[in-house]
Amino acid sequence: MKNFAHLLLVAATLMSAGQVYAQGGKTIEYQEGLHYFLIDGGPANLTQPVEVVEAFSYLCSHCNTFDPYIESWKQRKPDNVEFRRVPVVFGRKSWELYARGFVTAEMLGVPEEAHAAMMDRLWKDKEMMRSMEEIADFYSNFGVESAKFMGAANSFAVDARLKRDQLKLQSYGITATPTLIIGGKYRVAGNAAVSSFDVMLDVVDYLVERESVGSQPNSVAAD
């Protein structure tokens, strides 16, 4: 009985330190600087709802592999989480082409299913699009006339949005894709410690839960 009480005390101490999270029934310690990183200049506290951003590119093979994982996570994500994607350019013309296409499609209200269709077109069908005209033709399958898409793609609004997004991603310290940003405060990406996409998303859940609990000042007093 004494040993059991000691184990409960140890577990309570670790939980209060915010270092323990359960994945697949196992106790895991997620550590800053190893599993996730604080973003310089990020907010002290996450606002509610919590925004989770996926920094991605259609031309990133890892992003294609990650897509089913993030789609599954979206179905079970906490209610206080809002998810969105932001395309990364990294100074590459080919990546900028698809990023501009994505931003244009989003601003024109193209349905969400176009995202998976684009991934399939590139990675399953192996059909590369090398011009905005070809990308506009692709999105015409989702209710946007090619001429309207082309006009929007070359607009000041899309230019401004694309530049603003890239500056924001740079401030987050994005160096690889896919990377997840939690509330502009934390950055999570694959590395030796985050060895799978399941772990990557588990770290996100951990951070969201920890910050959500921390944002409730009465939760500690009630214990």
Q: What is the mean pLDDT of residues 184-203?
A: 97
When divided into structural domains, the chain yields a total of 1
Q: What is the mean pLDDT of residues 103-122?
A: 97
Query: Does residue 20 belong to any structural domain of this protein?
Result: no
Taking the CB of residue 92, how many other CB atoms lie within 10 A of it?
13
Query: Does residue 17 belong to any structural domain of this protein?
Result: no
Give the pLDDT score at 89: 97
- The 10s digit of each residue's pLDDT in 33-73 is 999 999 999 999 888 899 999 999 999 999 999 999 999 99
Query: Does residue 7 belong to any structural domain of this protein?
Result: no
Q: 201-212 burial string, b = 16+ CB within 10 Å, else e?
A: bbbbbbbbebbb
pTM of the model: 0.84
Query: Does residue 3 belong to any structural domain of this protein?
Result: no
- The 10s digit of each residue's pLDDT in 72-81 is 999 999 999 9
Domain that residue 186 falls in: 31-221
Query: Does residue 1 belong to any structural domain of this protein?
Result: no
CATH number at residue 77: 3.40.30.10
CA distance 124 to 149: 25
Query: Does residue 10 belong to any structural domain of this protein?
Result: no
Which pLDDT band holds residue 215 (cuts at 50, 70, 90)? low
- The 10s digit of each residue's pLDDT in 8-37 is 333 333 333 344 445 554 456 799 999 999
Query: Does residue 186 belong to any structural domain of this protein?
Result: yes
Query: Does residue 5 belong to any structural domain of this protein?
Result: no
